[in-house]
Structure 1
Amino acid sequence: MSGIYIHIPFCKQACHYCDFHFSTSLNKKDELISALKKEIRLRKDEFKSETVETIYFGGGTPSLLTNLELESIIQSVYETYKVAEFPEITLEANPDDLSKERLIELSKSPINRLSIGIQSFFEADLKLMNRAHNSEESKKCIAEAVNYFDNISIDLIYGVPNATNEQWIENIETALSFGVPHISSYALTVEPKTALASMIKQGKIDNVDDEKAQEQFYILKETLEKADFEHYELSNFAKKGYYSKNNSAYWLGKKYIGIGPSAHSFNGKQRSWNISNNIKYIKALQEDHLPCDIETLSDTDRYNEYIMTGLRTIWGVNLNRVEKEFGKENLNYLLAQATPYITQELLYIEASTLKTTRKGQFLSDGIASELFKLN
């Protein structure tokens, strides 16, 4: 399985916590869309023997594009690559872009999955994050969306300063009340050079409380599992049959092409990334040039990536695969490094697979980094 990720670098306004590449100016939208289609065509040889099973519009805010613009990009993918008969085609969208009329239009398009950026159902949280929508728009949007789409994911953020556990529970229960089959939930992270980092530094808002975030993670996990959601990746929960095929491919090390400024690609041996500048990206494509840097991954790089992604998922790190792909020496190194965490009941081995325990899940990224090889 292979996928196409398409980065749409436009937003109405900047969320205070976001460090993704985007612009609040849509002046170059037409040129950018033309450049996306050009990049798709120029990279046709990369997936000669692959079948595209997922197309994912991320951003930014892809729902700022019209249906015609989105469909023209999808058509370029179909014209360039071999696409599966029933691909998963996801659109990231904000609630304020999803009116009833827009939802009806989208339901008639090739897009068959929505990922809606709710983040919170509380006005105070939304204002702190500088989201473009309000709580009422969120609820109205989801209530309408479930009438036209079966496959819907919503995003929620926990660990928000001054948000209580009781409010977090209400957020989760509100999300569940709509019957959506997928929830992605992330701890609020303070990234350098963001407005959030600046406001915390100036004392305008409290800093993120890691202990509170950890409490809310386990509240989330317990509540969703009681509602028959499967916790298949650190930040992702789904009803049976509704795992994100696009995201699962990333975690399982499948090949993907990233189209658009700042988008990343992976072919199994190399990772590449496009320039994070809309003007330079457009200019390069107008000159039939791919504006990307390429890194060939060493065995150590691939080993470390497998450990990181594996420990985040229900699939874990297969020890037989480690020995087969990276050798007995690396397997012994992994087992030695993992032993203290097994003793602390943060990791365990089951059916030749290394996994995080319930207690270790929230700490999985930090644990993985301790299992990395440095050379």
Structure 2
Amino acid sequence: MPGLYLHIPFCKQACHYCDFHFSTSMGLKGQFVEALIKEMALRRTYLPDPSALLETIYFGGGTPSLLTAEELTQIFDAIQTNFEVSPQAEITLEANPDDLTADKLAVLAASPVNRLSIGLQSFHEPHLRLMNRAHSALESSQAVRRAQAAGFENISVDLIYGVPAAGHGIWEEDLGQLFDLRVPHVSAYALTIEPDTAFGRRLKKGTFVAPPEEFVAQQFEILLTQLRAHGYEQYEISNFCQPGRESRHNSNYWRGVPYLGLGPSAHSFDGRSRQYAVANNPQYVAAVLERGEVPATTEVLSPLDQANEYLLTTLRTSRGCDLRHLRDALGLNLLADRTEYLGSLLTQGMATLTDDTLRLTDAGKLLADHITLELFAEAPSAVSA
């Protein structure tokens, strides 16, 4: 069933690793909410079946926890006006720990939000300062406990590994504090240095040194070992949960379920094409409010694009890539075209192949991007009848 994504493009300050679209200026926040609500009306028929119930709603950013009670109410009223929402919908809001005061949590608990995704990133104060996070190490754990006390049981937390350090002790301590919190879902990402970020610019100047790939790989392996020992399942390369506690919204992305994205820089997918909204707050607000237009670019997906996307998303998941579906529905016959490469993956212990379903092993997950590129580098061959 379809989902709704809302991009809230405002942050208190810029984290040094972040290359998502956001602004630290709140001057347009009120007009943005007005534009977001108007965009809902403009795009209410975007999804293939506009009458289908929304099964997931996701507030991402940016920092959605910067929304006020009044702004949240306005947005939810507009969602109810323009869409049919399932009574069992998963409704997630990303939040920073410093925003989760008792008052803010009371506002969120009184709203339709039923799942929080809290961006902890670390429990280690020097690492938080290095990344230019707005919260303290103490607030990392306090925010989760406050959320639990406010009635939120469905909580996900974000952690970042591969932060430069003398050894793995800090990462192991971070994981220990995570387990003490007993949250059902964890998203863990390797620190990635993107060019147009503070870290990227410092790397270019030589004032920041990224850790060796081997160091990052070792921390990933520690992550896998520790989370499994505490009962978490890795259902996607960066996502772990207690049994049955997957993110329904993100899982639908990886399954190719259509979704509507609202707000500047948001992406949408209708099953055949993608849309990309302009990543500029003033341009977005002006286009929607003044001209009644959504400033977005549409990309129609070719059969090869669809096959490549299926490979890219499914290989990251524990479900794996159904090679028969890839052949019969999308026209890419890897079993015939890439027999030798698939064989090498199996021989090297990078993947398993069971009932024509290709899954990456732990070793393969470390090279997931490389393996995926190798597999969809070839043009699809015709499939004989």
TM-score bracket relative to the smaller structure: over 0.9
Structure 2 distance, partners of 1:328, 1:174, is 45
Deviation string, structure 1 residues 204-229 (Cα, Å, up to 9, x no partner) = 23223211111101101110111111
Contact 2:2 2:54 in 1 (8 A): yes
1:201 deviates by 2.5
Structure 1 distance, partners of 2:159, 2:282, is 32
Q: Which residue of 2 aligns with 1:168?
A: 171
Structure 1 distance, partners of 2:83, 2:367, is 39
Q: Which residue of 2 aligns with 1:359?
A: 363
| Between 340-349 and 307-316, the greater mean CA deviation after superposition | 340-349
| Between 314-323 and 262-271, the greater mean CA deviation after superposition | 314-323
Structure 2 distance, partners of 1:76, 1:335, is 51
1:337 deviates by 3.5
Structure 2 distance, partners of 1:79, 1:297, is 31
Deviation string, structure 1 residues 171-203 (Cα, Å, up to 9, x no partner) = 011011011000000000000121001222223
Deviation string, structure 1 residues 313-355 (Cα, Å, up to 9, x no partner) = 0010012211221237454224444222122110110122100
Q: Which residue of 1 aligns with 2:78?
A: 76
Gaps of 5+ in 1: none
Gaps of 5+ in 2: 380-385
Structure 2 distance, partners of 1:171, 1:264, is 33
Q: Which residue of 1 aligns with 2:382?
A: none
Deviation string, structure 1 residues 220-276 (Cα, Å, up to 9, x no partner) = 111011111110000000011210001000001100111000000011110110001
Contact 2:323 2:334 in 1 (8 A): no
Q: Which residue of 1 aligns with 2:21?
A: 21
Query: Cα 1:160–1:328, aligned 2, differ >3 Å: closer, same or farther?
Result: closer
| Between 243-252 and 355-364, the greater mean CA deviation after superposition | 355-364
Q: Which residue of 1 aligns with 2:148?
A: 146
TM-score, scaled relative to structure 2: 0.95
Structure 2 distance, partners of 1:134, 1:85, is 36
Equivalences for residues 280-295 of structure 1 within 5 A? 280-286=283-289, 287-295=291-299
Query: Cα 1:328–1:304, aligned 2, differ >3 Å: closer, same or farther?
Result: closer
SS in 2 for 1:326: coil
Superposition CA RMSD, Å: 1.3
Amino acid at match of 1:50: A
Contact 2:268 2:275 in 1 (8 A): yes
Equivalences for residues 147-226 of structure 1 within 5 A? 147=149, 148-162=151-165, 164-226=167-229
SS in 1 for 2:363: coil
Query: Cα 1:71–1:91, aligned 2, differ >3 Å: closer, same or farther?
Result: same
1:358 deviates by 2.0
Structure 2 distance, partners of 1:323, 1:374, is 14
Q: Which residue of 2 aligns with 1:53?
A: 55
Tell me the matched-pair count. Answer: 375
Contact 1:113 1:152 in 2 (8 A): yes
1:374 deviates by 4.5
Structure 1 distance, partners of 2:285, 2:335, is 45
Structure 1 distance, partners of 2:302, 2:98, is 44
Structure 1 distance, partners of 2:54, 2:180, is 34
Equivalences for residues 306-325 of structure 1 within 5 A? 306-325=310-329
Contact 1:94 1:117 in 2 (8 A): yes
Tell me whether 1:239 sits opposite 2:255 in the alignment. Answer: no
Query: Cα 1:163–1:143, aligned 2, differ >3 Å: closer, same or farther?
Result: farther
SS in 1 for 2:94: strand
Structure 2 distance, partners of 1:41, 1:335, is 49
Contact 1:275 1:292 in 2 (8 A): yes
Query: Cα 1:328–1:299, aligned 2, differ >3 Å: closer, same or farther?
Result: closer
| Between 282-291 and 44-53, the greater mean CA deviation after superposition | 44-53
Deviation string, structure 1 residues 24-47 (Cα, Å, up to 9, x no partner) = 000000100000011111111123
Contact 1:188 1:208 in 2 (8 A): no
TM-score, scaled relative to structure 1: 0.97
Structure 2 distance, partners of 1:250, 1:272, is 14
Q: Which residue of 1 aligns with 2:32?
A: 32
1:373 deviates by 3.6
Amino acid at match of 1:110: P
Contact 1:161 1:205 in 2 (8 A): no
